[in-house]
Amino acid sequence: MALRSLLLITALAALASSVSAFAESYTFPASNGQSSPVITLNSNSALNEVQRTNIEALVKDTYFSLDRNNIHGVLYALNQGENTPLPNWLYNAIERCEKWFHKTEGNVSCRNGALYDYWRDYSHGKSTGQGTNPIPSIKNNKTTQPLSRREVRRLARVARIADVHFKKENTIEFSAPIQWDLSAFASALVIERIADFLASAGFANFHISVDTLQTHVSSSDVIWQSKIDGDAIGFSNATLAHLKPWQQPAYSDRYVTSQEKGLISHSDGWPNARFEVIALASTAFDAALLSHFGATKPAQQSLDLVNSQPSLALKLVDANGRVFTSDTFASRTAVNDETGTASNGILIDVALPMFDIADYRGPYVSVWISDDKNRLVKSLALRGTSERWLSELRTWWRRVGRKEAGRNSESLIDGFSGATKKNTPLHIAWDGLDDYGNTVIDKPLVLHVEVAREHGGRSYEKVSFAIDGLTQPIEVKGDNEIASIKLSAKGASQ
């Protein structure tokens, strides 16, 4: 049969002992430059021909439905304002996307079809101007417009403030500026639909990868080992997304690739590439949305979000190779199951006193770890954004901040600093890895905490410790601007 020739069936060599049970692998080629899913199954299970046909149809249907420009597609109909009920999976996807939209103040959104059209028209207009490639004419083909940052921001804004109502029977009411577009998350939806199909067909152990997303499902919590840039990462019953936005064109299709690099930010419509992202979530869709958010927003913003949601874990790497991870990232992605100290790390709690004065401003706070020679090991927290005031954290400024502020590229301050938050205590979980992801378990270390407040005082405390020597919590009482500092091993009873 013709179908059989479409399906490439390959046997993968066992990668490691823990994955040796997985052997049978199926690739489903997608057309039109879409990403092809690869399914890997246990060596003792296989997909029959009917199942393969079904999966292939599923993949096609997903890409087809999500193609906004396809007049027979369901998303096209929705964007035209037709009130036909949506298939469950699509209705749910849009609903979930809207939840992210509200959670992130519109920084992750599926409403931005008009914005992507603007980028498409701009990119096509630009390449026709150069006159090298024959480009098929696009509807409403406009003359080349210069890229206007205000216009893209306006498009993002009108979509953001529009109203959306989810109605019964899988219909959605929304106002005109919105053009639903889920193309950035199409791979995730392909994975989810395949996973649902496999689960309903009785498969309990499988691995699906599309693009840079991979989902692993195991009934016995077997950990799937993956390698990202040489680092081993293990996970189970979750989806891992990996995004490197720096070299990614802001817009690309079969015909053109924009020169602008980065992901188009859903809040201001402009390409942005702050971080390389490794995101872990219980569903593929969440992993894809989280990776978009993490790549385009300041580290503190996305890490705060992730730390408040137990199902998510996040690792960010800035352009200088500096690593930021969410509290649970190390333990969630540990390669072996045993919870040794290696993945445990320590907890640091800093309490700040409240001053009962009229014009109380939240203090500037820096928490960092150095080795015993005063070399920076890890920046843990930085509250306050003004360089003028950050320099009031004098010790930190001399050792760390000054060098960082002088860098032209995205510096620690740009990527990591966040708002002052009154006297909210700091609770920091540190995984025991330095700024570049290397372990420093057995080294003598010094914790530094420095606090400075506008119209207030300045306090600085040091605490010497070693991670593997931290059997008892260390507590230090501070003075003035620092109430107390507590270090404890993660996992130890409090």
Partner 1 sequence: MKQVTAAVKTALLIAAGAVALGGTVAAAPHSASGIILTYDLNKDQSLPLEEFVDARRARFAASDKNGDGVLDESEYVYEWEGKMEMRLAEDRKASVKQTHIRFHAVDKNDDDRITLDEVEAVGESSFARMDADKDGVVAKGDPEPAPRRTSQSDADSAPTLKQRPMLRMPTSHNIEGFVTLYDQNGDDVVTKNEFNAVREAQFQRTDENSDGMLTEQEYVLEFEDRLDAQIKKTYDGQIKQTYVRFGVLDTDENKKMTFAEYMVSGFAAFNRYDTNGDGFLTLADPAPKPRDREQNTTTTAQASE
The residue written with tokens 């009411």 in the block is 173
Maximum distance among all Cα pairs of the chain, rounded to whole angstroms: 81
| Separation between Cα atoms, residue 46 and residue 43, nearest integer Å | 8
Cβ pair 156, 266 in contact under 8 A? yes
Encoded one letter per residue, x for contact with partner 1 by CB under 8 A and - for no contact, window 249-288 reads ------------------xx--------------------
* CB closer to partner 1 out of 103 and 153: 153
| Interaction between residue 205 and partner 1 (CB under 8 A) | no
Q: Which of 438, 81, 46 is nearest to 206 (CA)?
A: 46
Given 419, 425, 457, 472, the residue binding partner 1 (CB under 8 A): 419
| Interaction between residue 456 and partner 1 (CB under 8 A) | no
| Interaction between residue 388 and partner 1 (CB under 8 A) | yes
| Interaction between residue 437 and partner 1 (CB under 8 A) | no
Given 142, 149, 167, 398, the residue binding partner 1 (CB under 8 A): 149
| Interaction between residue 362 and partner 1 (CB under 8 A) | yes
* CB closer to partner 1 out of 421 and 458: 421
- The tally of CA atoms less than 13 A away on the side-chain side of residue 340 is 8
Minimal distance, residue 104 CB to partner 1, in Å: 10
* CB closer to partner 1 out of 123 and 265: 265
- Show Cβ contacts of residue 113 under 8 Å, excluding neighbours closer than 6 positions: 68, 79, 178, 179, 180, 181
Contacts of the segment 76-80: beta carbons below 8 A, 24+ positions apart: 78/172, 78/180, 79/113, 79/179, 79/180
Which region among 9-17, 248-256, 312-320, 383-391 touches partner 1 (by CB under 8 A)? 383-391
Minimal distance, residue 415 CB to partner 1, in Å: 12
Strand partners, 352: none
Beta-carbon count within 10 A of 155 CB: 23
Site for partner 1 in 93-132 (CB under 8 A): 105-107
Beta-carbon count within 10 A of 173 CB: 11
- Phi then psi for residue 142, to 5 deg, are -95, 165
Minimal distance, residue 482 CB to partner 1, in Å: 18
Q: What burial letters (b/e) apply to 72-110, b meaning 16+ CB within 10 Å?
A: ebbbbbbbeeeeeebeebbbebbebbbebbeebebbbbb
* CB closer to partner 1 out of 107 and 128: 107
Minimal distance, residue 414 CB to partner 1, in Å: 8
Minimal distance, residue 381 CB to partner 1, in Å: 16
Element (H, E) at 450: strand 445-452
* CB closer to partner 1 out of 160 and 207: 160
| Interaction between residue 160 and partner 1 (CB under 8 A) | yes
Minimal distance, residue 105 CB to partner 1, in Å: 6
Site for partner 1 in 398-417 (CB under 8 A): 414
Strand partners, 238: 216
The SS3 call for residue 113 is helix
| Interaction between residue 420 and partner 1 (CB under 8 A) | yes
Element (H, E) at 368: strand 364-371
Q: Which residues bind partner 1 (CB under 8 A)?
A: 105-107, 148-150, 153, 157, 160-161, 267-268, 359, 361-362, 385-386, 388, 414, 419-422
